């Protein structure tokens, strides 16, 4: 992070002097010919533009795959200076509530006590959302407009960054970094969790269709084999509190009535697991659905994004690369 801070400082200095702005306008050392020769530096200068304007994470994407992903972006919470979203098709305010279970009554703002807070300068770039300790309150964003409510042949993508040493930082028990549902964790739900017993702790993506669909006989979840559960497992995720790790998951062909629903989990730009193909029937009461963050989690989270389609592997890789 030290080298990043130095680079940002230089960018701000150059912005103040205005010297590089003259370069962008082609007014130094031969005009546009000079500008053409400086193309390799322009991505860095693009960062200088947004640092100077206070929008650190909305920098110029230099990769066509990143630009195509931006076209599908419907929600973005960079957690810079505020926990509220910068881009949202619905209510962009962060909300909190008394508990995780339905019905989820929430109020705008972070919970009292400052245990969930914006941590200045701690992010991938800029600030980050910090969970200081395990809490039982709900923290998150309302779903309508901000998350693709499952529809016929539904699809979407969620992307975020984490900084945590799971075995040391997270208290005993399951910890869901994100959970999205209007019902329960095992009933029409998306979640990314750290497990409670394994050493080292596993990270898992869970995508559970309507319970009557994936578990029609009402079997005891604890007695099922892992192969029967709609989970993608990363046995040694390698997360550490001194480095940021990128997590993304995509889904497609949901609510088709056929066993063609697919979900993919990515860690640091590479595919780490899949769920499916299987029947993925989701029915939600969208007004009761919440993107819940940091359930029993201790650590940092940054740059939460939601897309209205399943990004390709190349696009997910570009998201990871653009923030490095």
In the beta sheet, which residues pair with residue 252?
262
Q: Tell me, yes or no, whether 59 lies in a domain.
A: no
What per-residue confidence (pLDDT) applies to 52? 39
Residue 83: CA count within 13 A, CB half-sphere: 22
Q: Tell me, yes or no, whether 167 lies in a domain.
A: yes
pLDDT digits (tens, 9 = 90+) for 98-153: 988 877 889 999 999 999 999 999 999 999 999 999 998 999 999 999 999 888 89
Q: Are residues 248 and 107 in the same domain?
A: yes
Query: Can you spell out the DSSP letters for 184-236?
Result: ETTEEEEEEEE-SS-SSPPEEEEEE--HHHH-TT---GGGS-GGGS-EEEES-
Q: Are residues 308 and 163 in the same domain?
A: yes
Q: Are residues 168 and 41 in the same domain?
A: no
pLDDT digits (tens, 9 = 90+) for 209-219: 999 999 999 99
Arithmetic mean of pLDDT, 278-303: 95
State pTM to two decimals.
0.81
Q: What is the CATH number of the domain that holds 160?
A: 2.60.120.200
Given the DSSP bridges, would you call strands 299-307 and 73-77 parallel, antiparallel or unpaired? antiparallel
- Residue that is written with structure tokens 């992307």 in the block: 159
Residues 6+ apart with CB under 8 A from 95: 106, 107, 108, 109, 138, 139, 140, 141, 142, 290
Question: Between these two residues, 306 and 52, which has the higher pLDDT value?
Answer: 306
Q: How many domains does the chain have?
A: 2
Indicate whether 29 pLDDT > 80.
no
Arithmetic mean of pLDDT, 234-247: 95
Q: Are residues 121 and 211 in the same domain?
A: yes
What per-residue confidence (pLDDT) applies to 277? 96
Peptide bond into 259 cis (omega under 30): no
Query: By percentage, how much of the chain surpasses pLDDT 70?
Result: 81
- Residue that is written with structure tokens 């299987």 in the block: 278
What per-residue confidence (pLDDT) applies to 25? 38
* DSSP H or E run through 2: helix 2-17
Domain that holds residue 10: 2-53
User: Alpha-carbon distance 25 to 17, whole Å?
Assistant: 15
Q: Tell me, yes or no, whether 248 lies in a domain.
A: yes
What per-residue confidence (pLDDT) applies to 8? 39
Q: Residue 29: how many CB atoms within 10 A of its CB? A: 12
pLDDT digits (tens, 9 = 90+) for 157-170: 999 999 999 999 99
Indicate whether 36 pLDDT > 50.
no
Cα 223 from chain centroid (whole Å)? 31
pLDDT digits (tens, 9 = 90+) for 51-71: 333 444 544 445 777 778 889
Q: Are residues 36 and 103 in the same domain?
A: no
Question: Between these two residues, 67 and 231, which has the higher pLDDT value?
Answer: 231
What per-residue confidence (pLDDT) applies to 62? 59
User: Alpha-carbon distance 75 to 86, whole Å?
Assistant: 8
User: Alpha-carbon distance 170 to 299, whole Å?
Assistant: 8
Indicate whether 252 pLDDT > 60.
yes
Residue 139's SS3 state is strand
What per-residue confidence (pLDDT) applies to 197? 75
Tokens found for residue 93: 């305010």
Query: What angle separates helix 2-17 from helix 39-53, to the nearest 10 degrees?
Result: 90
């Amino acid at each position: 992070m030290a080298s990043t801070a130095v680079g940002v400082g230089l960018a701000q200095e150059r912005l103040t002097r205005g010297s590089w702005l003259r370069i962008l306008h082609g007014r130094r050392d031969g005009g546009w010919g000079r500008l053409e020769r400086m193309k390799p530096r322009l991505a860095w200068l693009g960062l200088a533009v947004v640092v100077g304007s206070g929008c650190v994470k909305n920098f110029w994407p230099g990769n066509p795959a990143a630009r195509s992903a931006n076209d599908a972006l419907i929600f973005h919470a960079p957690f810079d200076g505020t926990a509220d979203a910068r881009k949202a098709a619905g209510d962009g305010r962060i909300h909190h509530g008394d508990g995780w279970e339905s019905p989820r009554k929430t109020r705008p703002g972070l919970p009292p006590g400052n245990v969930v807070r914006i941590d200045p300068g701690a992010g991938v770039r800029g600030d980050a959302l910090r969970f200081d300790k395990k809490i039982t309150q709900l923290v998150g964003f309302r779903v309508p407009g901000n998350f693709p409510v499952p529809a016929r042949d539904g699809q979407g993508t969620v992307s975020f960054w984490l900084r945590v040493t799971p075995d040391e930082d997270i208290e005993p028990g399951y910890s869901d970094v994100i959970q999205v549902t209007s019902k329960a964790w095992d009933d029409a739900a998306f979640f990314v969790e750290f497990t409670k017993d394994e050493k080292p702790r596993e990270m898992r993506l869970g995508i559970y269709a309507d319970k009557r669909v994936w578990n029609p006989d009402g079997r005891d979840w604890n007695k099922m084999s892992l192969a029967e559960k709609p989970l993608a497992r990363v046995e040694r995720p390698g997360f550490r509190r001194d480095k940021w790790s990128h997590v993304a998951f995509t889904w497609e062909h949901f609510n088709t009535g056929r066993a063609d629903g697919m979900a993919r989990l990515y860690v640091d730009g590479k595919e780490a697991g899949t769920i499916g193909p299987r029947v993925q029937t989701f029915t939600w009461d969208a007004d009761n659905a919440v993107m819940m963050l940091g359930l029993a989690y201790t650590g940092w989270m940054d740059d939460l994004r939601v897309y209205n389609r399943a990004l390709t592997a190349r696009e997910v890789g570009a998201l990871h690369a653009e923030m490095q």
